[in-house]
Structure 1
Amino acid sequence: MARFIKKQKHEIGLPPDELLFRGDKKSEEVTIRVIDFDSKNLEENALNELTGVLKYQEKKTVTWLNIDGLHNPGLMQEIAMVFDLDDLIMANVMNTTARPTVHEFDNCIFISVKMLQLNEDSGMISVENLSLILTESILISFQEKKGDVFEPIRERIRKKKKRIRNGWTDYLAFALLDIVIDNYIYIISVLGEKIEVLEEHLGQNQPDASVIKKINAYKRELNFLRRNIRPAKEMILALSKMESEFIFENTYVHYKELLDNMNQAIDSSDSYREILTDQLNLYHTTISSKLNDIMKFLTIFSVIFIPLTFIAGIYGTNFEVLPELKFQYSYFIMLAVMVVMATAMLIYFKKKKWF
């Protein structure tokens, strides 16, 4: 399956609000978790059905509803009914291949972004779609599979950290996006370390076939990463400029911090991409230089042996009268002339700096 764009033939021509799961199924079951809190109280539950969340709608607290698994159209339809959401929002939630975006509706803000994870063994980057629906008192997050990427946020809530416990859903959304973007920077830093190690290796050793494989692998993963984080920057920029009733004035400064982090991530990825390009050029230059040295050596070797072959050819002629053949030391004289001629040619080539 293509990593950069995915489109199934049966999806062509469907209406945009069709509740159809688009993407690769990453979880067999759908789980629902809820955290309800304010500055003093905390309630954390796992729900078997969506009706369990109804009691939180009337409370003056912050409710974080997290849903893992996006392939159940019936549940998505139920969520739309319970929270009075447009079907287009739920269709976008189920489209895991969609570009990161942000849209404001009458009763919520919809946010979509890509979460990236680096497999330390294979070195490949995997992608997961994250959708957020931000309302006045409820934040609904949708993940393709269950994971612990947001566990630090849950720990901050449990440990009664003031900012998150005193904030509202807009600050909670910022905290989740901050985790996602921090992971971007982490992945870039890991790739960057490998690229810098490869750069040192190129500077100290002759390149071999494994070098070009590593360069191409790093370029592939870096391009995949940049393809996902650039639209995320556009989304964060739009979010930071959005004048919405669902975002408090004092929260905008945090969204601008996210924008700064995105700029840092993109600048770093661009820098490492340029380094890889320079490494690739250095590799080809080194290989070409090495080939030139080999050709120079072979040329010098051939030039030296041309006169020697000429001399040997004379004594390999088939004339009956060759006076030199009668000399007692003719053979040794011929060898001495060949050695002197080869030595003289090497000295001459050295002075000319031909090798």
Structure 2
Amino acid sequence: MRKIKYKKGRKIQPYNLEYTGIHKKTDSEMQLFVYDDLNLSEYQDFNVFDIEKCIDYQKANWLNIHGLNNIDLLKKVGFYFKIDDFMLADILNTNRRTKTEEQHDVLFFNIKSLLPAGDSDNICAEQISFLIKEGVLISFQEKRSDFFTHIRERIRTHSGIVRGKKADYLLYILLDSIMENFYITLENEEDKIEELIDLTKKNAGPIILEKIEQHRDNFNFLKRAITPLRDSLYDIKSMKDDNVFNVIEDENFSFYSRLHQKSLELLEQIESDMSTLHSASDFYFSAQSHKMNEIMKTLTVVSAIFIPLTFIVGVYGMNFKYMPELEYEHGYYTVVGIMILIVLGMLFYFKKRNWF
């Protein structure tokens, strides 16, 4: 599982542009969408030198960048849109926690996108950053993925209201798409917890406790990613009252309020799932304790049965010269019969008292 190291991230200077992620071999690519309610222009394999002639500030512009290895490319994008180097450094430093920052006429937002890692119990994380300025939305992804494929199709097919809105609404639906990944990841974890609880009832082996702890780490991982997201969405929602930052239109703040509400729901669900996981952990230890009690009860019954038998054997094992029973013709069979009767009597008594 790729951890989000908020406190132990790589120590780099704020203005030192260095990509700290794991996708070191991903080539940088750009795509540009320029659209309004009537027209759409789409540019694949977009060249940074074409920005000035292709960007139309009267329309909505979405510049998407895959791959963060080409530092020179990012510097050129930052130079054209007058983006400070420390914002570019935050984009490249994937160890930073989710945050929102506004400066002058630029709104910066980054988010951790989480998805289950195939058939394993791990979680894959990718940092996605956004810059919105004067009707231009720039998104930065560590690698090519299909997070926004359906949004591109909505723009191409003029589906919904996205073509009638500006870049701030586009930012909303992109964030909403990423947050759907949280629901997918959370549902995947919940399904595995149900399987784990069923397995705990059948087999309380040590591997169960290991799996419980791993899923507990996953939920803490989700919580650490969503909590700063909740705070960032609240900051965006609160911008409406500042009357200073006008990149987001007033009528669109309600959409960000919905995202903030979703983040609260996700955190509440995580707390509930962690309680369920805690119950599974308690059940595991209870099962272990019950199993141990059953073993001790069996051993105690066996010990109780053999105590009188041991006493009888000990008595007749003494080396006294004058023991009348030793001369009795049927003494051996008599003693063995008495011992059998004692065993049967004790078993009947224990069974009647429900001791086993």
Q: Deviations over 1:98-134 (max 9, x none)?
A: 1111111212111011111211222210111111001
What is the aligned partner in structure 1 of residue 260 from structure 2?
A: 259
Shift of 1:26: 4.3
Partner of 2:194: 196
1:241 aligns to 2:238 (yes or no): yes
- Distance in 2, matches of 1:52 and 1:344, equals 98
Match of 2:312 in 1: 311
Q: Which residue of 2 aligns with 1:333?
A: 334
Structure 2 counterpart of 1:165: 163
Return the alpha-carbon distance in structure 2 between the equivalents of residues 157 and 48 of structure 1: 18
Given that 1:27 and 1:145 are in contact with CA atoms closer than 8 Å, whether structure 2 keeps it comes out as no
Query: What is the rounded CA distance, in whole Å, between the counterparts of 1:190 and 1:4 in structure 2?
Result: 20
Deviations 1:264-321 (A, max 9, x none): 2111111111111111111011101110111121112112101101112222233333
Counterpart selection for 1:119 from 114, 117, 120: 117
Residues 10, 95 of structure 2: 8 Å contact kept: no
8 Å CA contact 1:26–1:144 kept in 2: the answer is no
Q: Which residue number corresponds to residue 10 of structure 2?
A: 8
For residue 62 of structure 1, report the CA deviation from its aligned partner: 0.9
Would you say the 8 A contact 2:24–2:69 is kept in 1? no
1:100 and 1:176 mapped to 2: Cα distance?
15
In structure 2, C-alpha distance between the alignment counterparts of 1:198 and 1:270, rounded to whole Å: 18
Question: Which whole-Å CA distance do the structure 1 matches of 2:101 and 2:353 have between them?
Answer: 72
Match of 2:91 in 1: 93
Amino acid at match of 1:276: L
1:66 paired residue number: 64
Counterpart selection for 1:24 from 22, 25, 30: 22
Q: Please tell me the residue identity of whatever aligns with 2:103.
A: F
The aligned counterpart of 2:108 is 110
How much does 1:66 deviate? 0.4
Q: What's the counterpart of residue 211 of structure 1?
A: 208
Choose 263-272 or 343-352, whichever is displaced more: 343-352
Cα shift readout 1:152-177 (whole Å, capped 9, x = no counterpart) = 11011111013111011010000100
Q: Which runs of at least 4 in structure 1 moved beyond 6 Å after TM superposition?
A: none
- Per the alignment, in what secondary structure is the counterpart of residue 88 of structure 1? helix
What is the letter of the counterpart of residue 285 of structure 2? H
Output one character per residue of 1:230-268: Cα deviation in whole Å (capped at 9) or x when no partner: 111111111111133011111111111111211121111
CA contact (8 A) 1:27 1:144 kept: no
Deviation, structure 1 residue 81: 1.1
1:39 and 1:162 in contact (8 A); partners too: no
Q: TM-score, normalised on structure 2?
A: 0.93
Segment drifting more, 18-27 vs 231-240: 18-27
The structural deviation recorded for 1:351 is 4.1
Aligned letter for 2:312? I
Task: Give 1:345 deviation, angstroms.
Answer: 2.3
Name the counterpart of 1:53: 51
- Determine whether 1:292 maps to 2:293: yes
| Amino acid across the alignment from 2:287 | T
Larger mean CA deviation between 231-240 and 323-332 belongs to 323-332
In structure 2, the partner of 1:187 is: 185
Aligned residue among 145, 153, 164 for 2:143: 145
1:109 and 1:246 in contact (8 A); partners too: yes
1:56-103 deviations in whole A, cap 9, x for unaligned?
Answer: 334411111001111222222211211111222111111111111111
- Residue identity (%): 33
SS at 2:91 equivalent: helix
Structure 2, gaps ≥5 residues long? none
Are 1:26 and 1:145, in contact at CA under 8 Å, matched by a contact in 2? Answer: no
Q: Quote the Cα distance in structure 1 between the aligned partners of 2:160 and 2:276.
A: 43
Deviation of the 1:8 alpha carbon? 3.1
Asked whether the 8 Å contact 1:125–1:225 carries over to 2, the reply is: no
Quote the offset at 1:325 in angstroms.
2.4
Which residue of 154, 157, 165 corresponds with 1:156? 154
Name the SS for the 2:41 alignment partner.
Answer: strand
Q: In structure 1, how many angstroms separate the alpha carbons of the residues matched to 2:170 and 2:4?
A: 30
Q: Is the 8 A contact 1:215 1:276 kept in 2?
A: yes
Deviations 1:195-232 (CA, angstroms, capped at 9, x unpaired): 122223334x2422332222122112222121111111
- The one-letter amino acid paired with 1:196 is E
**How many residues get paired?**
350
1:48 Cα shift?
Answer: 4.9
Does the aligned pair in 2 maintain the 1:150–1:179 contact within 8 Å? yes
List runs of 5+ in structure 1 lacking aligned partners.
none
Q: Does residue 1:130 correspond to 2:131, yes or no?
A: no
After alignment, is 156-165 or 341-350 more displaced? Answer: 341-350
3-state DSSP of counterpart to 1:157:
helix
CA contact (8 A) 2:135 2:247 kept: no
Root-mean-square deviation (CA, aligned residues, Å) is 1.8
Using structure 1 for the length normalisation, give the TM-score: 0.93
